Structure 1
């Protein structure tokens, strides 16, 4: 709870207490010391809610809002008091997770690999593999399926597609839409596509997503295809590896925060390399190392199988066992292969 000495007047303290007592969703303007000018600066920097303020440091808030550090410190304390950032028991946490939605990949085999319902919101699902392994095909399938009703395996919402490699194809979306019996033009209208030309542009687009959600866009899925292409191209050699990993680390944490706060399902595709030190077994290693590995909730390795099939292998999950399955990529979508 915010103490009287942490706000500037009795009226401001009453406003904080009223917001907490009534369980009304508080806004930036309810924070003592945050006026219209500061709100405009915060929103321009991608901070739209109390959680964004509560998780900043006083110097960081001061820099983006133009407030003095003392006022920024009081504002952060007030935001934290209004949000009740303490602990909760396991039952409360389970109740909080009931708003999670699931999106089918279009393949029952892959859905079963992920627990039976497909990818989940408030998490990051990574698909990594060599070129031609099916990463983009799964991403395009998810962009279509997220628009389906919940009872059909969708999330009844829109998808955002950040294309870093120039692989988004409207004609492929039309084929997937026909495969699920949807109107291709309507499906395309509900996929918001942005072509990112460098890592700075890719990072900036996350702020735009927050802005679109704030303006009422029913976004349920964020796809980044691919995650590391620009970081890999712009930071080459061992001399720049630390800088690349630090920037990638911050980007992954921004994705985690966005997924959690906005209840989004986040899907990233990732490039791979061959590990020359691997003497036996598959030398394929995803780009990004432990930074991407720790930030991703689910990691699936894709590779080509027999007779043009694709093999999906679950590498990491907080609640599911490792597993492997097979599917096909066909004109109208993904097709399951019978597992013997």
Structure 2
């Protein structure tokens, strides 16, 4: 709440302009100064400065509300609580979709559809409320240069062909998605700090950052002394600002994350300390499939345990038997651990509701340590050999097969 702009604390325009000349623009900047410093920069008396301090403190202090008031407000306007993903089964588990007022993280290996999900949600946020949208604009911060305007139009036209039946509607939709390419941590943080005014002026209803891990891992090599502390500080500041924006304006914030390798073969290496070069390391499996032997490594969400506590909801996308993939609800304050199958098509992500889920072996665990299947399993080679009439083969193998990405992630 301290990130709130001073002009929203009901200070006079003249005083706000005077303070801005001293780079004092937020409630936090104001409250961190002593009384003498405030008297100097405001040019006001001791008593008036005390009044200003009380006014600013009240403006940024969280307002108390009862659970009943929250329930009534959401029952009057249910659309203000969630942004529907249009994936019916997933929305049902999440009680309506991606929650407003909190941070939702999408984690997956490359090629599973993180960016496709973000582009699809951009389309949905611009839809009218009657269609499950938020009837607003989208701020899309792209740190990997992966956003595609052509894909945005393709998803819109194929997912809602009746609504987007003219070039004019597609034009209006694309004008509502504001894209920013920020390739450094500093530029991302500056952009986040500037979003408050933009949310108000452009009626922004959704913020997307694709991806947080990309800029962090390019700039902070955790093997160098001091880098881990700096990285943690950046992530904490960014998460705090985004939480404020989400709560203050009751909008959803979607962030994408990458994967990392956590080793378990006698070495206790925290995910925070794993080098980015290890990201594509595969879980090593001993023996045949189903042998139950212990894995020597596993793939988990990047950025560590502290970051996992900053996000309120975590969805994991992972490989399954091609062409299907899985959505895992790994962390949510309202939903149980759940798994859904999906494919990526011209209309975006499409759930395969009729697919049998009886063979699932995934169980809910600590979301920060949840293993992610980064490649598709294939049959034991001995079965393939038998089918080809080579039962006399002396070797049998089991392992992992590289999965071909169906779309850019």
TM tier relative to shorter chain = 0.7 to 0.9
Q: Is the 8 A contact 1:161 1:224 kept in 2?
A: yes
User: Aligned residue for 1:295?
Assistant: 310
Q: Larger Cα Rg: Structure 1 or Structure 2? A: 2
CA–CA distance in structure 1, aligned partners of residues 68 and 296 of structure 2: 43
Q: Is the 8 A contact 2:317 2:326 kept in 1?
A: yes
Residue 148 of structure 2 corresponds to 169
TM-score normalised by structure 2 residue count: 0.67
Asked if structure 2 preserves the Cα contact closer than 8 Å seen for 1:33 and 1:75, the reply is no
Tell me the secondary structure at the aligned position of residue 212 of structure 2: coil
* 1:107 counterpart residue number: 87
Q: Which of 172, 189, 209 is residue 175 of structure 2 equivalent to? A: 189
Structure 1 residue 54, shift from structure 2 partner:
7.0
Question: Unmatched 5+ residue regions in structure 2?
Answer: 1-5, 266-293, 357-409
In structure 2, what is the Cα distance between the partners aligned to 1:118 and 1:274?
30
Give the deviation of 1:305 after TM superposition: 1.5
CA RMSD of aligned residues (A): 3.1
Report the Cα distance in structure 2 between the residues aligned to 1:122 and 1:188, rounded to whole angstroms: 24
Q: Name 1:225's counterpart in structure 2.
A: 210
- Three-state SS of the structure 2 residue aligned to 1:161 is strand
Could you say if the C-alpha distance between residues 304 and 245 of structure 1 is closer, same or farther in structure 2, counting changes exceeding 3 Å? Answer: same
Contact 1:275–1:285 (CA under 8 A) maintained in structure 2 = yes
Hey, what's the Cα distance between the residues in 2 that align with 1:80 and 1:197?
35
Match of 1:131, SS?
Answer: coil
- Number of corresponding residues: 306
What residue in structure 2 maps to residue 131 of structure 1?
Answer: 110
* Aligned residue among 182, 185, 195 for 1:199: 185
Distance 1:229 1:89, change over 3 A: same
1:331 to 333, 336, 346: 346
1:134-173 → structure 2 map (5 Å cutoff) = 134-173=113-152
Deviations 1:266-319 (A, max 9, x none): 000001111122753981221221232111110011111212112011111112
Residue 212 of structure 1 corresponds to which residue in structure 2? 198
Which moved further from structure 2: 248-257 or 269-278? 269-278
The aligned runs of 1:248-263 (5 Å cut-off) are: 248-263=235-250
**Aligned partners of 1:123 and 1:264 also within 8 Å:** yes
Q: Is the 8 A contact 2:81 2:99 kept in 1?
A: yes
Provide the TM-score with structure 1 as the length reference: 0.80
Match of 1:306 in 2: 321
- The offset of 1:60, in angstroms, is 8.9
Residue 41 of structure 1: how far off its partner (Å): 4.9
1:188, distance to aligned residue in structure 2 (A): 1.3
Query: Which structure 1 residue ranges, 5 or more long, are not aligned?
Result: 1-25, 48-52
